[in-house]
């Protein structure tokens, strides 16, 4: 019997019960209390799980984690589904769902928390999604966090890595670590013209990378002419994407065989998420037909491409938290020719990052501006977003500023349009979706 652990668990559960009295979810505080009492509190999770899967990277962690959870729904899982991905969030997950054993421990882990979490959870598999600039005031420059993640994984030589090799920052792990590595990526015809490149040099030798294709940001097909660093080989490769209004038909090739999936979410970043999860499922030797079936009926309710129906229109909530993510959402909106209004909710709370200069690195100019009725700018930094829209050469008559997000949402959803896009940053995402949920249920 571990007295310290038992006390930590009891106090964590007491904290959770108290929070529930005030209608709070308790995704972090119970774990924080437990870890204060017992720093090694997470060790028990490692002991109780047959397999441990960690998901880390800048974008796509929560969607990937939830999709894996759906694919593994026949198993007994312990997982942090609501995106609480720091050490206290992982601990709170166990406090909320304490059992004697689990088939899988599945956790998305913030890049900055991987060192602590991985020191107790010895992962069998680690999925690396991508690395982009994100919250510079918290993480610092991107190279710093990548080096930290690499050092963390060096201490887990038995972990199998499933990596997005279209990102050179991620692909270097194949060359610099001794872990077994499975690579996934895209090989499709791309119409992407904007090159928001933060990575121009080979991460191995420093020579300028040569790209034959960009998918988005610095993701694409590339090679180094000096040291032959490249992503030509992908064990799992998306070779076809057919975009529909609210879904996409994705074909993944593995071992010279194609698998077609009707995936209910659009966007290239969702194709990457899907391919990574498909790779994991196959490496776990799951029934591939059941995996595809689960992928095709996947639904997600945490503000990542989440749709609501209201008065003959669609309300779509999409988290936007860094330049590449916002640029990709703008790209999706630009391919949607329905009449629309767009709501930007920009906060600068600590969890968002105090420095909101990142919006100026994002492409927020809709190429189909003629289909946009109004742009609403809300949140703590509403004026900053309005200024960004002005520099996008948007007609100022279309730009509306109100720092109260509830009033803004109330106004926007009454517009005579077919779809309203609501784009909150991280600290607004849960309040936004919960508020819209209440409205549509009235």
Per DSSP, the residues of 138-170 read HH-SHHHHHHHHHHHHHT-TTPEEEEETTSHHH
Sign for the pseudo-dihedral over CA of 167, 173, 174, 175:
positive
| CA of residue 152 relative to chain centroid, distance | 20
Burial class of 141 by CB neighbour count within 10 A (0 to 12, 13 to 18, 19+)? exposed
Alpha carbons 190 and 213: distance in angstroms, whole number: 7
Phi first, then psi: what are they for 237, rounded to 5°? -135, 125
The C-alpha angle 372, 377, 382, rounded to 5 degrees, equals 160
DSSP label at residue 190:
-
Alpha carbons 246 and 433: distance in angstroms, whole number: 19
Between the two ends of the chain, the Cα-to-Cα distance in Å is: 51
Alpha carbons 65 and 69: distance in angstroms, whole number: 6
Asked if 122 and 96 touch (Cβ cutoff 8 Å), the reply is: no
Q: How many CB atoms lie within 10 A of CB 243?
A: 15
List of residues 6+ apart from 220 with CB closer than 8 A: 166, 190, 192, 211, 212, 213, 214
* pTM: predicted TM-score of the whole model, two decimal places: 0.90
Q: Which domains does the chain have, with CATH numbers?
A: 42-296 (3.40.1190.10), 304-441 (3.90.190.20)
| CA of residue 71 relative to chain centroid, distance | 17
Per-residue pLDDT of the chain in tens (442 residues, 90 and over written 9): 589 999 999 999 999 999 999 888 889 999 999 999 999 999 999 999 999 999 999 999 999 999 999 999 999 999 998 778 999 999 999 999 999 999 999 999 999 999 999 999 999 999 999 998 775 545 557 888 999 999 999 999 999 999 999 999 999 999 999 999 999 999 998 766 555 567 779 999 999 999 998 898 899 999 999 998 999 999 999 999 998 878 999 999 999 999 999 999 998 999 999 999 999 999 999 999 999 999 999 998 776 789 999 999 999 999 998 898 999 999 999 989 999 999 999 999 988 888 999 999 999 999 999 999 999 999 999 999 999 999 999 999 999 999 999 999 999 999 999 999 999 999 999 899 999 999 998 7
pLDDT of residue 2: 87
DSSP label at residue 112:
G
Asked if 19 and 12 touch (Cβ cutoff 8 Å), the reply is: no
Alpha carbons 114 and 70: distance in angstroms, whole number: 23
| CA of residue 384 relative to chain centroid, distance | 24
């Amino acid at each position: 019997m571990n007295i310290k652990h038992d006390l930590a668990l009891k106090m964590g559960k007491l904290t959770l019960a108290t929070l529930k009295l005030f209608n709070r979810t308790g995704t972090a505080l119970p774990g924080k209390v437990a870890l204060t009492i017992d720093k090694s509190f997470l060790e028990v999770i490692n002991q109780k799980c047959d397999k441990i899967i960690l998901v880390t990277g800048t974008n796509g962690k929560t969607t990937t984690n939830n999709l894996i959870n759906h694919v593994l729904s026949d198993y007994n899982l312990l997982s942090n589904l609501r995106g609480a991905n720091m050490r206290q969030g992982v601990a709170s997950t166990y406090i909320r769902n304490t059992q004697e054993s689990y088939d899988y421990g599945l956790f998305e882990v913030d890049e900055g928390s991987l060192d602590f979490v991985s020191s107790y959870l010895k992962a069998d598999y680690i999925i690396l999604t991508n690395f982009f600039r994100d919250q510079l005031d918290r993480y610092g420059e991107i190279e710093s966090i990548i080096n930290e993640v690499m050092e963390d994984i060096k201490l887990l030589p038995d972990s199998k890595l499933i990596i997005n090799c279209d990102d050179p920052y991620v692909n270097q792990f194949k060359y610099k670590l001794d872990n077994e590595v499975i690579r996934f990526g895209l090989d499709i015809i791309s119409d992407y013209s904007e090159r928001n490149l933060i990575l121009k040099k080979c991460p191995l030798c420093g020579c300028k990378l040569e790209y034959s294709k960009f998918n988005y940001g610095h993701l694409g097909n590339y090679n180094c002419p000096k040291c032959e660093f490249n992503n030509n080989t992908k064990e799992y490769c998306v070779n076809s994407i057919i975009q529909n209004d609210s879904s996409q038909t994705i074909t993944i090739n593995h071992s010279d065989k194609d698998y077609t999936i009707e995936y209910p979410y659009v966007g290239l970043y969702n194709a990457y998420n899907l391919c990574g999860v498909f790779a994991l499922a196959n490496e776990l030797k799951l029934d591939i037909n059941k995996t595809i079936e689960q992928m095709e009926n996947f639904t997600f309710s945490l503000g990542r491409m989440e749709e609501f129906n209201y008065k003959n229109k669609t309300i779509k909530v999409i988290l936007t938290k860094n330049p590449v993510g916002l640029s990709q959402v703008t790209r999706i909106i630009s391919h949607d020719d329905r009449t629309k209004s767009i709501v930007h909710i920009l906060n600068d709370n600590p969890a968002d990052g105090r420095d909101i200069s990142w919006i100026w690195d994002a492409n927020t100019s809709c190429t189909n501006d003629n289909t946009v009725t109004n742009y609403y700018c809300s949140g703590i930094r509403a004026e900053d977003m309005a200024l960004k829209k002005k520099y996008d050469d948007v007609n100022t008559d279309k730009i509306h500023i109100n720092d109260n997000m509830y009033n803004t949402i109330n106004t926007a959803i009454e517009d005579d349009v077919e779809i309203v896009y609501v784009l909150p940053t991280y600290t607004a995402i849960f309040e936004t979706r919960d508020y819209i949920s209440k409205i549509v249920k009235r």
